[in-house]
């Protein structure tokens, strides 16, 4: 309790905006075994744009181009035709790969005879039945590009940069998108991408992350007229030297969500995947952030090109204000019944089964959390993974 009081005193006196811990916003890195040499986007896309070129493009222009890209994913005839072509080329790729595998398994003498036939066909225009290994390898390479990197065929260089930027944020290393200079070449891996019928793959470089930062910084300036209700799950620290702890959250306080943060339209995704559990041993509180319908003023919906298929996701940034706080007691729908003006009030006054949040967190009357869990397993489990702090906010 002494720690919580000290945190409260320290940060209430200093009313700087709350800054979220951006390491909490890191998704799983999306990696595929491509069975190919790992190439960066310059190798896989000869028309890749430079950092300086992207800096020169106004935000309004990048937003306009992005809006024009959406129909290429949403229109059934366009997406359906692309999917049909990809399926056909995938079949040809499998066939060509099988023919090459079969050739590799033939004996040495057979390969000599086959090579002689290929040479004679080329020189004397004969028609001996022979397997042209070189042509097959070239065909395989071409088909592989069309199947696994088909954005080269249907999207402009700028559109492809936008797609790669969204992939890196939704399936790559989010902190590196925010701070490209922290890029670590030793930790890089190939990113493979398939959303509906669109495919691409590349190994990101620091420049790739720089470009992603530039593009997303401009895209998220897009004004939103009627934003849906949005959700984000996090585990917030009770004590932190770097970020303001949850102990000082209160209605009316401003929150800086950092350079970028993604919100989902599905509360279940935030509840089950991102909000985690309250853990007194680690000093973390399971938390759900909510933005009511119409309260996000700027942001960009990226679900049509997200690395996570099927998830409606909006990227935003900047400052927000806390409008309400409460506790969701095992069911997200009921949080409004248990509202409080601050985390301090919630911590002391919210009870379940005669046990307050404070009693649970400090295992009041017990030597340890484990002892409390053994004696009151149902109550302890409720606070551990069912009760979540809810913070409603609006963009400023």
Domain membership flag for residue 298 = yes
What is the rounded distance in angstroms from the CA atom of residue 144 to the CA atom of residue 11? 56
357, part of any domain: yes
In a domain, 349, yes or no: yes
Q: Decide if 345 is inside a domain.
A: yes
Strands (E), the chain: 18-19, 191-195, 198-202, 230-237, 254-256, 261-264, 284-291, 300-301, 313-316, 319-329, 339-340, 351-352, 355-356, 387-395
- Using 50, 70 and 90 to split pLDDT, how confident is the model at 376? very high
Asked if residue 66 belongs to a domain, the reply is no
- Per residue in 63-86, pLDDT (tens digit) is 999 999 988 877 766 777 878 888
Alpha-carbon Rg for the chain in angstroms: 27
Of 54, 52, 34, the residue nearest 44 (C-alpha): 34
- Residue 321 falls inside a structural domain: yes
| Cβ atoms 17, 169 nearer than 8 A | no
- Residue 38 is assigned to a structural domain of this protein: no
Q: pLDDT digit string (tens) for 22-42? A: 444 443 333 333 333 333 555
**Residue 39: predicted pLDDT:** 39
Most confident option among 86-95, 123-132, 168-177, 314-323: 314-323
Provide, for the chain, the percentages of residues in helix, strand and coil under a 3-state DSSP scheme, each rounded to the nearest 5: 50, 20, 35
Compute the CA torsion angle 104, 106, 110, 112 (nearest 10 deg).
Answer: 20
Please determine, for residue 305, whether its predicted confidence score (pLDDT) is greater than 80: yes
Q: Is residue 120 part of a domain?
A: no
What mean pLDDT comes out for the span 248-253? 92
Dist CA 89 CA 111 (whole Å)? 28
For residue 339, what are the domain limits? 2-25+223-395
- Rounded-to-10 torsion of CA 245, 246, 247, 253: 100
User: Residue 272: what are its φ and ψ, rounded to 5°?
Assistant: -90, -30
Count of domains observed in the chain: 1
pLDDT at 8: 44
Give the span between the Cα atoms of 188 and 173, in whole angstroms. 9
Most confident segment among 74-83, 182-191, 382-391: 382-391
Given this model, what pLDDT does residue 385 score? 84
Q: Rounded to whole angstroms, how far apart are CA atoms 111 and 133? A: 10
Rounded Cα–Cα distance for residues 275 and 264 (Å): 12
């Amino acid at each position: 309790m002494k720690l919580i009081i000290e945190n409260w005193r320290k940060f209430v006196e200093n009313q700087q905006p709350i800054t979220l811990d951006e390491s909490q916003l890191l998704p799983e890195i999306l990696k595929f075994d491509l069975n190919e040499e790992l190439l960066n986007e310059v190798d896989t896309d000869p028309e890749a744009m430079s950092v300086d070129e992207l800096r020169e493009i106004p935000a309004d222009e990048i937003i306009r181009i992005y809006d024009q890209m959406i129909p290429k994913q949403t229109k059934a005839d366009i997406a359906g035709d692309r999917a049909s072509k990809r399926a056909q080329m995938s079949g040809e790729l499998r066939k060509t790969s099988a023919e090459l595998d079969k050739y590799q398994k033939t004996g040495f003498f057979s390969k000599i005879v086959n090579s002689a036939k290929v040479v004679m066909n080329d020189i004397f225009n004969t028609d001996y039945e022979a397997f042209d290994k070189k042509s097959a390898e070239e065909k395989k390479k071409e088909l592989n590009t069309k199947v696994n990197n088909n954005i080269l065929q249907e999207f402009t260089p700028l559109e492809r940069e936008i797609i790669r930027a969204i992939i890196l944020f939704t399936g790559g290393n989010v902190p590196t998108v925010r701070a490209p200079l922290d890029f670590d070449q030793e930790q890089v891996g190939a990113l493979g991408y398939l959303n509906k019928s669109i495919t691409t793959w590349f190994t990101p470089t620091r420049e790739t992350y720089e470009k992603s930062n530039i593009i997303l910084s401009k895209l998220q300036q897009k004004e939103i007229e009627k934003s849906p209700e949005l959700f984000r799950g996090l585990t917030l620290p009770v004590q932190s030297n770097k970020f303001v702890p949850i102990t000082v959250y209160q209605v009316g306080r401003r929150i800086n969500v950092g350079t970028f943060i993604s919100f989902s339209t599905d509360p279940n995704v935030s509840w089950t995947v991102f909000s985690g559990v309250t853990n007194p041993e680690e000093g973390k509180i399971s938390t759900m952030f909510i933005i009511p319908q119409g309260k996000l003023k700027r942001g960009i919906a990226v679900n049509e090109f997200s690395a996570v298929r099927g998830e409606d996701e909006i990227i935003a940034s900047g400052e927000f204000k806390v409008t309400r706080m409460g506790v969701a007691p095992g069911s997200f729908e009921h949080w409004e019944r248990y509202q409080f003006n601050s985390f301090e009030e919630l911590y002391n006054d919210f009870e379940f089964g005669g046990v307050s949040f404070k009693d649970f967190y400090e295992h009041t009357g017990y030597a340890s959390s484990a002892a409390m869990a053994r004696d009151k397993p149902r109550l302890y489990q409720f606070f551990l993974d069912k009760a979540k702090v809810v913070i409603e906010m609006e963009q400023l």
